[in-house]
Amino acid sequence: MSEKETRFRAPVSYTFRRKSPFNQLLAHMGKVRECIDLLGDGLLKYYKGDYKNFSKLSRKVSEIEHEADLIKGNIRNHLPSSLFMPVDKGKFLWALREQDAILDHAENLVNMLDMRHTKIPEELQALFIDHAKLVMKTVEAMEDAVENIKDLLETSFVKR
């Protein structure tokens, strides 16, 4: 090949070398975790009657949810065809949808609580706090599961 001649075709391997959508799924899950952790801490303040700071939290949760929606849109727009996916595309999108539902419910909750400042009876506060902590632990476990799936899929295709 002469010096002036330029190659325009990419090697065939570039066709199959796409970024894993699991990295973005994990980034989306990170936003879910960030939101739920923030919400859990905010609910403790809300139960104590600190409504002013809860309004700030409501705006922050909406920002995080918007950032997660951008990640979700990017995932959907750049998802490889099911032929090149190591898992069923429908199941992958189901996992993304479930993560997004958590964010949507969190955003709806903070907006509703911010619009109507309701005094929670003291006998119910402990139950609500326990429930919030359980949700935070569940989301933490879900994030660990997504990370483990990502790691498993990455290591399962390593050449030996």
**How large is the C-alpha radius of gyration of the chain?**
21
Task: Indicate the pTM of the whole model.
Answer: 0.79
Predicted confidence (pLDDT) per residue in 17-51, tens digit:
456 788 899 999 999 999 999 998 888 888 888 88
Q: Quick check: is 3 in a domain? A: no
Question: Which residue in 152, 144, 138 sits closest to 37, CA to CA?
Answer: 138
Residue 89: is its pLDDT beyond 90?
Answer: no
Report which of residues 101 and 52 the model is more confident about: 101
Question: Which residue in 70, 72, 61 sits closest to 96, CA to CA?
Answer: 72
Give the DSSP per-residue string, 67-113.
Answer: HHHHHHHHHHHTPPPGGG-SS-HHHHHHHHHHHHHHHHHHHHHHHHH
Residue 7: is its pLDDT beyond 50?
Answer: yes
Q: Quick check: is 77 in a domain? A: yes
Q: Quick check: is 5 in a domain? A: no
Q: Quick check: is 1 in a domain? A: no
Q: Quick check: is 11 in a domain? A: no
Q: Quick check: is 160 in a domain? A: no
| CATH number assigned to the domain comprising residue 59 | 1.20.58.220
Cα 135 from chain centroid (whole Å): 14
In this prediction, residues 65-79 reach a mean pLDDT of: 92
Q: Quick check: is 120 in a domain? A: yes
Predicted confidence (pLDDT) per residue in 92-150, tens digit:
899 999 999 999 999 999 999 999 888 888 899 889 889 989 999 999 999 999 999 88
Residue-range definition of the domain harbouring residue 146: 19-155
Q: Quick check: is 29 in a domain? A: yes
